[in-house]
Structure 1
Amino acid sequence: MRAVWLGFALYVVYASGRLNFTWDRFVTGLDRGAVFLGRMFPPEFTRWQLMAEGLLESLQIAIIASAAGILLSLPIGLLAARNLMPAVVTVPARAIIALARSFHPIIVAIIFVKAIGFGPLAGILALTLGSIGFVAKLFAEAIEEISLKQVEAVRATGASFMGVVIMAVLPQVLARFIGFSTYQLDSNLRNSTMVGIVGGGGIGGTLFSAFQRFDYDFVAAILISIIAMIMLGEVIATWLRRTFQ
């Protein structure tokens, strides 16, 4: 165990040297950070209407992307479950999930901005793709962990495939699926502010413009409003989990 910690310490020293990290740069960064924070306070809320418009657009992007991603994740996750579907079906479904999970939402948002132009539609498509990658994967894994006894019992009644899914599969995974969905909504609220920085709409664009103008007191106000929105989203997500689980 000591050898592991010693190796880790040596690697940190090596990596710091490769990254050109020096104590002088660290101290200089602290001084500049103090100046930067000093220019951010007190926050400037006089342009609250501009912030409200950006926050509302980010909220709309997050909700629409979450709804679309969750709805698409249901069939994809079901097709990816190896205990219900043959390999000829699960392999393409899992390939779609892997593709959706391969890139960060910022990278996907840049691609969509280049493809369809600036605006909230690019942000919605980017977050929808990310939602599929997360929710569909966890939904498929949840289905693979269900008890097949209920599935066989419903099949024995002569139920159709959709009947088996509705009567035997969904009741066993519904609580977990709601948890996945609420978490993804909370995640999309955070990511909706990031995709705006690259042109995907929302408050991120307003934040980036304020940084470019060196309008740091307005930046502080925007950051505080984003934190408030995320905290509110967390409260709502917690309430939804307690209500439906």
Structure 2
Amino acid sequence: MCYHRASVFAIILALVGAKNAGLIPVIGIFIKGLASFLRNIPLAAWALILVFSFKQNELTGFLALFFMSLGFLTRAFIETIEDYGTDTIKALEATGATYPQIVCQAILPALAVPLCEWVLYMIENNIRDAVLVGLITGSGIGFLFDLYFKSLRYNAAGLVVLGVVVLVIAWEILSIQLKKRIEHHAKD
């Protein structure tokens, strides 16, 4: 669930932080630095840092996935926005378009497909990473696996692993279908 919150914050940060779409260059440098910091700390390290800070609970798992997703998506969104041509942005600025108009009428519609693809990719990663985070933070699917494994209930632990594998494969198939629909809708 943290991916959609992270993606909303990431798109806002990316729009402010991108060179060609950002408002203040100094803020863009700060946002890129923050995103790199959040992204480059391994997920297990985030989970451990947060467990030491907030103890084992659902909040620590959520925050670990949120910080990792926010950093990754912000950097990915910034790079996607910066790859977008500045000619359109400058042309709209020359016609007197405001910043919100440029974002809503040019940047977001043109980049909807790649931004959605990044979010789908992050969801897939979060599904897999939730097991590790749950093991460390004592929550979610990782907690169930740990509970069954430590109580020597290997059949149940194997079923949890099988469930995660099926979920990842199902998400991959659904993700491919969603990407096709998004690309088809964008062409229309």
State TM-score, norm by structure 2: 0.90
* 2:137 partner letter: G
- Which residue identity does 2:20 align to in structure 1? N
Q: Which residue of 2 aligns with 1:181?
A: 119
Matched with 2:186 is none
Kindly provide the CA deviation profile for residues 79-130 of structure 1, in whole angstroms up to 9, marking residues without a partner as x.
Answer: 2212233431211111110111121122111222222232222111111111
- What does the per-residue CA deviation read over 1:204-226, in whole Å, with 9 as the maximum and x for residues that have no partner? 01111222223222221211111
1:35-46 matched pairs, under 5 angstroms: none
User: Amino acid of the residue matched to residue 105 of structure 2?
Assistant: M
- What is aligned with 2:43? 105
* Residue 153 of structure 1, CA deviation: 2.2
Mapping 1:75-224, distance limit 5 Å: 75-85=12-22, 86-224=24-162
Q: 1:203 to 1:241 in 2, by over 3 A?
A: same
Q: Is it true that 1:68 corresponds to 2:31 in the alignment?
A: no
Percent identical across equivalent pairs?
23
Q: How far has the Cα of 1:74 moved from its partner?
A: 0.6
Gaps of 5+ in 1: 1-63
RMSD: 1.5
Is the contact made by 1:109 and 1:200 (CA closer than 8 Å) also made in structure 2? no
Give the Cα separation in 1 of the matches to 2:19 and 2:90: 16
8 Å CA contact 1:70–1:132 kept in 2: the answer is yes
Q: 1:206 to 1:173 in 2, by over 3 A?
A: same
Assess if the C-alpha contact under 8 Å between 2:14 and 2:77 holds in 1: yes
Residues 139-177 of structure 1: CA deviation (Å, up to 9, x unaligned):
101111111221122222211111111112112211100
Q: Report how far residue 200 of structure 1 moved.
A: 4.7
User: Unaligned stretches of 5+ in structure 2?
Assistant: 184-188
Amino acid at match of 2:123: L
Question: Which of the residues 177, 182, 187 maps onto 1:244?
Answer: 182
Q: How many residues align?
A: 182
Greater CA drift, 90-99 or 214-223: 214-223
Task: Tell me if the contact between 1:65 and 1:127 (Cα under 8 Å) persists in the aligned partners.
Answer: yes
SS in 2 for 1:114: helix
> In terms of mean alpha carbon deviation, does 121-130 or 111-120 score higher?
111-120
Give 1 or 2 for the bigger CA radius of gyration: 1
